[in-house]
Chains A and B, each alone.
Chain A
Amino acid sequence: MSYQVLARKYRPQKFSDVIGQDHVTRTLKNAITQDRVAHGYIFSGHRGIGKTTVARILAMALNCRSAEHPVPEPCGICESCTEIRAGNSVDVIEIDAATNRGIDEIRELREAARYRPARDRFKIYILDEAHQITDAAFNALLKTLEEPPSHVIFMMATTQPEDIPQTIRSRCQHFSFRAVKFEEILTQLADLTARENVVAERDALALLAEAGDGSIRDALSILDQAIASSSEGITVDAVRQLIGTAPASVMEGMMQAVIHNSSQDILQAVDELISEGHSPTHLARQLVRFLRNAVVAKVAGENSALLQVSSDERARIARVAEWFSEEDLARHLQIMLRTHGELGYRQEQRFHLELGLLKMTHAQRLLPIEQLLSGAAVAAVAAPARAAGRAPERAAERAPEARPISTAPSARTSAVSPFAADSARKTNRTPEMSSETKPVQSVAKLESSGSPVIMGSAAPAVEVAVEVAAATEPQAIRDSILDALTDAGQQMVVSMLEAGEWTLEGNQLVVRVASSAAVIDMTVGADTRRIAGATASGRAGRPLKFTVLPGGTESAVEPRSTGASGGRGRMAQDPVVRRLQEKFGAEIRTVIDYREKH
């Protein structure tokens, strides 16, 4: 009702207030000081980590009236700054691309961009959710980006940079935002509760920070809820209830039931948890986290700093790690990852959670996993072909629809995915656009040392020599794909593909990796294929099919040629991480956080 949510009340107004994105803010400040401001920016990264906030601060810094020129840190009090903060500046136009994604809106924008700013130095367009912009509209935007009037600056914030056409990306500076570290979020929560005069238990804040999962806004949003729903102080119990987290003892109990092969204990426990109001999705997510930690404990030891959990939970994790072999833990983690991934789309969540949990007991019983998975998949793919006496064309028609979740990778690649049409669309776009526009195409990379610029160049010009469809080397395509997948947060897949052997075979881009077919299938999902396929086709300038096959040998990870792999390369040297990567495709994001803390 009348209170203001924390995320808005404490929205940073200066670069130095922005949390966890030093690599971005430092570079932006330097660029302003050195008078090297670009005309296009892409800010990408997970939701709620400060992309739009940084865009607004950058707009303030560029238009701030406290000096005769852009300033590295906005004053926050001049007319320009206050108007931008209030969202009513004439020259800083914030557009929600989700609702204004059409060609008409962009044309209008293009027309307006021609006129000089009304008062301030720059006319700045902030396009939020920029990946929503339609192809035609991007095309229209491209014309402005190719020859930008000196007073116009575009800033695009997006969670899916891979959906922004390469032609646009290459004309923008691209900043990849990081997930905010657990400890940074925790500090922020403690600071804000103190400022708000809210009493909060330290462990309660830790739970909130964990629930934020790398997103400041999510953490603050849950803190809002905790403040709203508890009249006297924020306690661990209250937070637990609010975010629907079951205690770690429940997770231990589940895994105990798995090791004892006791299906009835599992079903009984689910029944109790659901009637206590726990959501199946949340339970699945918690179990994924618990199992991942058990894997870490198994590989790196229970005292590993990689385990950021309370001592009680640590003891439980250690016990569970003790009960199972590495392979079993990996298998169970994969089963729960898949179960969790699928729950979001399903109606009968409880049933699907129960099935997922029982699959663990059955997998424990029925070894090896390859047999379990591939057996089902082969049969499942064969099944729809026999259409029980119906007309053959009907059978053909329904085949893709009736195909059950197929589990063999070979089957998956040929299946018609709901994204196929989309990726085909994306595939065709790049050549179309480049023929329509001028062939001036820059894929230059800015290689200034230590700079976080991922791709593209500030100066959208001149390297005409570089052809649009120049990427015939699998190496170049590989880098783009790994970048795109990194941007999409698919660290597990990246770590697998990075170690693979990449070859171009006709119209197929084949990656052979050391993992088994089952592990490939569990790691490489539809999203991955969509992103990889679209990126590959875009880079090669022709449709390429992206295929991951087993049978590769473990090769040393080649560093990517772009800036993105700096931290990753370092991380890959860590023996524990290597082992986790090889064995389980562990969630690398956590590892990065840990390494950077030191």
Chain B
Amino acid sequence: MAFSDFYGNAETVHQLREMLARDHFPHAVILAGPPGSGKYTLALMLARAMNCLSPTTSDGLPDFCGKCSNCTRMAQAEDLNARVAEAVEARENLRETDKKETRILVQVHPDLLVIPPDPPQLLIKVDQVRRLSESIYYRPAEARERVYIFTSSAFMKEAANSLLKVLEEPPSFATLFLLTDNPGEFLPTIRSRCMILTLAALPPPEIESLLAARRPDWNEKQRALVARLSEGAAGHALTFDIATYSAARANALVILNAAARAGDHSDLFKVTETYRPGADGREKTDQLLRALYMLLEDLMYLGNGTPHLVRNTDIQGELKRLAEAVDFDWIVRAAHGLNDVEKGIRRNLLRSLSLDAFAATEHPSRFSG
């Protein structure tokens, strides 16, 4: 593992390493970019470059050896999902009373703390931030730099507020990485105290060539499709689950068709039945929402003279038919409705309820009068 393994956004990576070389690395960095664009991978690489015991250089810039005890221990945090799953399982085995007060944190090295959103609400909570504010002012034990990585920008209000003070006067030996899909989700006061770097979406051809090398199991058509659906995120593209997406999209199409046409709602109910809250309910719902947005955006492209921007290239025909049945105002209302559904879900409403309501608001005949 070294910086050469990071795919894409060479300029941004270069800039970060250059600041490292000049000992001018900011204390707080917001890494923004779509899911799968490599924010976490990059933050973890930088953590190692800051703390490698036998630091190397490449292209005249700092790199890390990947073999020393700091590098290898920090590398254990690479598979974040696995580490979080272990932590969640450990928590499950606690006594009920302790369970409630235990927060998920990933610490594979005394000077590296990874702070994921705490399940089941998947928010960063004040107790998690407290772990940071309690430890950050102590000099690192075995490394040169204490590194904290927040993997989500979904903070509980109190948690965000308690992060503010630390951000205002962080100690000279600590660096915070705040990862987000959307820097707008942070409090402006947090944003203004961080350097914001964006991992831009990679163009589809670039992703296609990456996939050609790394996913030979997909045929050319599938690779072209995934390159567009992954919205420029290399990591997302490499691990793209075509089957799951297709299922979510099929349901999304049923909902949109029901919303666009008068008449029978029975299909719709069948779909929404499957979105009852449950163990995997949240993820499933998120996938459905993403598919709905993606389809709406494609409909907008078709209706506004830019068919070449359509992502769901494999169902162009069906999309064209649907696009003819709706107009721009309908898409605008649908997007607003969908946004409300999303807000409802964030407030932990019954998911199926919100989705039914979305389809109900979408019915075009309601807007004719």
Interface residues of A (CB under 8 A from B): 1-5, 8, 47-48, 96, 98-99, 101, 128-129, 132, 159, 215, 217-218, 221, 224-225, 227-229, 231, 244, 263-264, 266-268, 271, 274-277, 279, 281, 343-352, 354-355, 358-359, 362, 375-376, 379-380, 382-384, 386-390, 394, 397-398, 401-405
Contacts and interface: CB of A to CB of B under 8 A. Distances in A.
A281 B196 CA distance: 13
Contacts of B232: 275
B164 A394 contact: no
A351 B335 contact: yes
B340 A98 contact: no
Contacts, number: 205
Contacts of B297: 348, 350-351, 354
B292 to A, nearest CB: 10
Nearest to B27: A5
A348 to B, nearest CB: 5
A268 B165 contact: no
Nearest to B328: A362
B184 A281 contact: yes
B161 A129 contact: yes
24 contacts: A5-B27, A48-B192, A132-B161, A228-B19, A229-B15, A267-B301, A271-B306, A271-B309, A274-B201, A344-B182, A344-B184, A346-B184, A351-B293, A351-B335, A352-B339, A355-B331, A358-B304, A362-B328, A362-B329, A379-B367, A384-B360, A398-B356, A402-B337, A403-B340
A263 B328 CA distance: 11
A159 B161 CA distance: 13
Contact of A228 (B25, B183, B293, B329): B25
B172 interface: yes
B359 interface: yes
Contact count band on B: 35 or more
A404 B361 contact: yes
B26 interface: yes
B230 interface: no
B47 to A, nearest CB: 13
Contacts of A1: 20, 23-25, 27, 50, 145, 172-173, 175
A383 to B, nearest CB: 4
A388 B340 contact: no
Nearest to B342: A347
Contact of A267 (B189, B306, B349, B367): B306
Contact of A227 (B15, B24, B181, B331): B24
Contacts of B343: 401
Contacts of B341: 402
A416 to B, nearest CB: 12
A418 to B, nearest CB: 8
B349 A244 contact: no
The main secondary structure of chain B at its interface with chain A is: helix
A229 B21 CA distance: 11
B203 A275 contact: yes
Nearest to A213: B192
B357 A96 contact: no
Given A98-B161, A129-B164, A354-B297, A264 B24 contact: no
B128 to A, nearest CB: 13
Nearest to A243: B196
A268 B361 contact: no
A22 to B, nearest CB: 24
B353 A376 contact: no
Contacts of A224: 26, 195
B366 A263 contact: no
B332 interface: yes
A359 B357 CA distance: 25
Contacts of A48: 192
A401 B357 contact: yes
A398 B351 CA distance: 11
Contacts of B235: none
Contact of A4 (B20, B162, B172, B357): B172
B184 A343 contact: yes
B200 to A, nearest CB: 3
A1 B361 CA distance: 52
A101 B157 CA distance: 13
A388 B200 contact: no
Chain A to chain B: the 5 pairs with minimum beta-carbon distance, closest first: A98-B161, A277-B200, A402-B357, A344-B184, A264-B305
B122 to A, nearest CB: 14
Contact of B328 (A344, A348, A358): A358
